Amino acid sequence: MYTRRQALMGAAAAAMLAAMPPLAAVASEIETEIAALAREKVTLVAPPYVHAHEQVATGGPKVVEFVMPIVEKKVIIDDEGTELWAMTFNGSMPGPLMVVHEGDYVELTLVNPETNSMPHNIDFHAATGALGGGALTLINPGEQVKLRFKATRSGTFVYHCAPEGPMIPWHVVSGMSGSIMVLPRDGLKNEKGEPVRYDKVFYVGENDFYIPRDEDGNFKTYESHGDSYADTLDVMKGLIPTHVVFNGAKGALTGDNAMKSKVGETVLIVHSQANRDTRPHLIGGHGDYVWEEGKFANPPAKDLETWFIRGGSAGAALYTFLQPGVYAYVNHNLIEAVELGATAHFLVEGEWSDDLMKQVEAPGPIPVN
């Protein structure tokens, strides 16, 4: 039975549709807006480094162009020679950190070379609609696609590969994730709304890997991605990683690969984990300002000892180094830091501060009552 209420609702819906401009007209207006914008081509760099960018935008919004190939390759993930068939954006784990400003358009050309074996796509957590772009970008080997979206929210956001079904987690835990940072046009602010700046930015992407073992407990090797799939899926379902590492491998950010800074420099650390929760901690330092949820529209927390990055997100922490030395940066699940590999180092050069040194000199005997 067709009721009066249904008739009224139908009439109201029809009126709303009549009032809305046709989609073609909306698309035409957007294309006209984009055509009038300046364009900037950016060459991506491998983490932990980040491409050159302005902290405070000069001029109006622009179209920022990136080209990113997908690279499938075998990599070594620890000092024991354990192999992983990795799937990567731009050949690195994590994929590069992209930086734009709020109001800019991100224009990415995603390339799946014909030498690859599988289809891939990209889901930007910073984008709106179409599964973050995942529904528009699924491409087979030998294809490429161009995705464009407007960066309407500031903050740090994860991107990752998201084909269908169990392929999604398999691609992610095979290294296929990265981050984009959308800066406010007028730069970062503290809790009082005052400007804060950084001298350097480093990007740390945390990876959890699930490497199958043979009957003797040794890590297995495979001839191809496809050969490893079924065994890897079994390990993944147990939810217990065999490796938890920064930037793709145990020791990737220690020793000669340590991140370098100087006394007095302010460093922004962007940290992502596309799959599991993590708890970054800078031993001997602090988070002077921390956007734990990664969203710059919210005021930062202050003076944190350890901060929390939710699985599927990226956060940012700002710290000014006060003393020289080697600072360990760890996941403060210490089992994962010490046993599974989630440890990095900052090598800080400069002079020791006498004022602060006085605070750590031995105070002499302490009387006991």
Active centre residues (catalytic): 120, 123, 125, 160-161, 171, 176, 281, 305-306, 332
* Structure-token pair, residue 24: 């073609």
* Structure-token pair, residue 166: 């169990």
62/100 Cα distance (integer angstroms): 9
* Structure-token pair, residue 95: 């994929």
12: part of which helix (H) or strand (E)? helix 4-19
Beta-carbon contacts of residue 232 (< 8 Å; ≥ 6 apart): 170, 174, 210, 211, 212
CB 96 within 8 A of CB 47: yes
Work out whether strand 105-112 and strand 123-124 pair parallel, antiparallel, or are unpaired.
unpaired
289: part of which helix (H) or strand (E)? strand 287-291
CB 342 within 8 A of CB 246: yes
